A = this chain, B = another copy of it.
Amino acid sequence: MPENLLYAQSGGVTPVINATAAAIIETAREHGQRVGKVYAAAEGILGVLGERLIDTDSICADDLRRMANSPGGAFGSCRYKLPAPEDGQREYARLIDVFRAHDIGCFFYNGGNDSADTAAKIARYGREHDYPIRCIGVPKTIDNDLAVTDNSPGFGSVAKYVAISILEASLDVRSMSASSTKVFILEVMGRHAGWIAAAGGLARRRREDPPQVLLLPEIPFDAERFLAAVEQSVKSNGYCSVVVSEGLRRPDGGLVSEGSATDAFGHKQLGGVAPLVADLVQRKLGYKHHWAVSDYLQRSARHIASATDLEQARAVGRAAVELALAGESGVMPVIRRLSDQPYRWEVASAPLSEIANREKKMPRKFISEDGFGITEAARRYLAPLIRGEAFPDFRDDGLPDYLRPDFATIEPRLPGFEP
Interface residue ranges, A against B (CB under 8 Å): 9, 12-13, 15, 42-44, 46, 70-80, 160, 163-165, 167-180, 184, 186, 202-203, 209, 267-272, 274-276, 278-279, 290-297, 299-304, 306, 308, 383, 386-389, 391, 394, 396-400, 402, 404
* A164-B399, A267-B270 as given contacts; A389 in contact with B387, CB under 8 Å: no
Not counting A13-B175, A72-B172, a sample of 11 additional A-B residue pairs whose C-beta atoms are within 8 angstroms of each other reads A44-B179, A73-B175, A76-B174, A78-B176, A163-B398, A169-B295, A171-B404, A202-B398, A290-B295, A294-B297, A389-B394
Residues of B within 8 A of A171 (CB): 70-72, 300, 402, 404
Residues A300 and B168 in contact in the complex (CB < 8 Å), given A79-B179, A178-B43, A180-B79: yes
Chain B residue at smallest Cβ distance from A293: B293
Which of B70, B77, B170, B383 sits near A397, CB closer than 8 Å? B383
The distance in angstroms between the C-alpha atoms of A149 and B295, with both chains bound, is: 35
B9 contacts A175, C-beta separation under 8 Å:
yes
- What is the chain B residue whose CB lies nearest that of A156? B398
Q: How far is the CB of A204 from chain B (nearest CB, A)?
A: 11
Give A278 to B270 CA distance when docked, in angstroms: 9
Contact partner of A404 (CB less than 8 A), chosen from B163, B173, B180, B209, is B209
- A306 CB to nearest B CB, Å: 6
Rounded to whole angstroms, the CA-CA distance of A244 and B278 in the bound complex is 21
**For the complex, what is the distance from the CA of A178 to the CA of B48, rounded to whole Å?**
13
A222–B419 alpha-carbon span in the complex (Å): 38
* Chain B residues closer than 8 Å to A301, beta-carbon distance: 165, 168
Q: Are A303 and B168 in contact (CB under 8 A)?
A: yes
Q: Which B residues lie within 8 Å of A46 (CB)?
A: 178-179
Q: A292 touches which one: B76, B79, B293 (CB < 8 A)?
A: B293
Q: For residue A180, which residues in chain B have a CB less than 8 angstroms away from its CB?
A: 78-79
Given A163-B398, A171-B72: A79 and B291 interface contact (C-beta under 8 Å): no
Q: Are A167 and B402 in contact (CB under 8 A)?
A: yes
The reply to whether A296 and B78 form a contact with Cβ atoms under 8 Å apart is: no
